[in-house]
């Protein structure tokens, strides 16, 4: 689906069922469908340009990591980023910048049984080393913060790249 199609689908889907499926200090996450979510950057930063900067930053890091073909990425688990969502001024709830990304069907770390917590911690350390070797600092990420664990795949996904920084 092209980006315009995603925008139209998001507007229709979120307008009809407005409950968020996740969120944090930077924004809210809404389901567009079973495979795609929209993260709107609207909670902490009320200035539109800052919201745009956060959306672009998150998108650029996610795309950069996915576009790299080097073998160090084989175990890196982050959502796939599809595109940028521009503010929809006629719909107050959607009048924010956002990003479309892959929906991760996962649970938070604290809900895991002990053995899966150990697995999640091991995967987090491994992924953190990979991300750092690619030139990024995982600001605001820990095994129990800004991650989701997919129980079916038994994989830990790093989510919310908004505060990650590129090392120079």
CATH number, residue 71:
1.10.510.10
pLDDT above 90 (res 50): no
Q: HEC states along 66-87?
A: HHCCCHHHCCCCCCCEEEEECC
**pLDDT tens, 125-165?**
999 998 888 889 988 788 888 999 999 999 999 998 888 88
* Pair 104, 151: CB distance under 8 Å: no
Domain count, the chain: 1
Q: Which pLDDT does position 123 carry in this prediction?
A: 95
Q: What is the pLDDT of residues 85-123, one digit of tens each?
A: 999 988 888 989 999 999 999 999 999 999 999 999 999
Residue 102 belongs to domain spanning: 3-166
Strands annotated E in 17-166: 22-23, 28-31, 36-40, 81-85, 98-102, 136-137, 147-150, 155-158, 165-166
Residues above pLDDT 70, as percent of the chain: 90
pLDDT surpasses 70 at 45: no
Instruction: Give the H or E element holding residue 5.
Output: helix 3-16
Note the pLDDT of residue 22.
85
- Specify the pairing of strand 81-85 against strand 28-31: unpaired
pTM reported for the whole predicted model: 0.88
């Amino acid at each position: 689906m092209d980006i315009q199609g995603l925008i139209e689908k998001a507007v229709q889907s979120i307008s009809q069922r407005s409950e968020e499926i996740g969120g944090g200090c930077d924004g809210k996450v809404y389901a567009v469908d079973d495979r795609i979510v929209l993260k709107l950057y609207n909670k902490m930063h009320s200035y539109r340009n800052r919201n745009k900067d956060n959306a672009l930053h998150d998108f650029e890091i996610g795309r950069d990591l996915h576009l790299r073909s080097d073998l160090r990425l084989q175990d890196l688990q982050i959502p796939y980023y599809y595109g940028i969502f521009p503010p929809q001024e006629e719909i107050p709830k959607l009048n924010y910048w956002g990003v479309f990304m892959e929906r991760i069907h996962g649970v938070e770390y604290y809900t895991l049984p002990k053995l899966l917590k150990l697995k999640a911690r091991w995967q987090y350390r491994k992924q953190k080393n990979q991300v750092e070797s690619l030139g990024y600092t995982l600001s605001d990420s820990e095994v129990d913060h800004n991650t989701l664990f997919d129980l079916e795949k038994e994989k830990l996904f790093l989510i919310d790249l908004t505060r990650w920084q590129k090392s120079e």
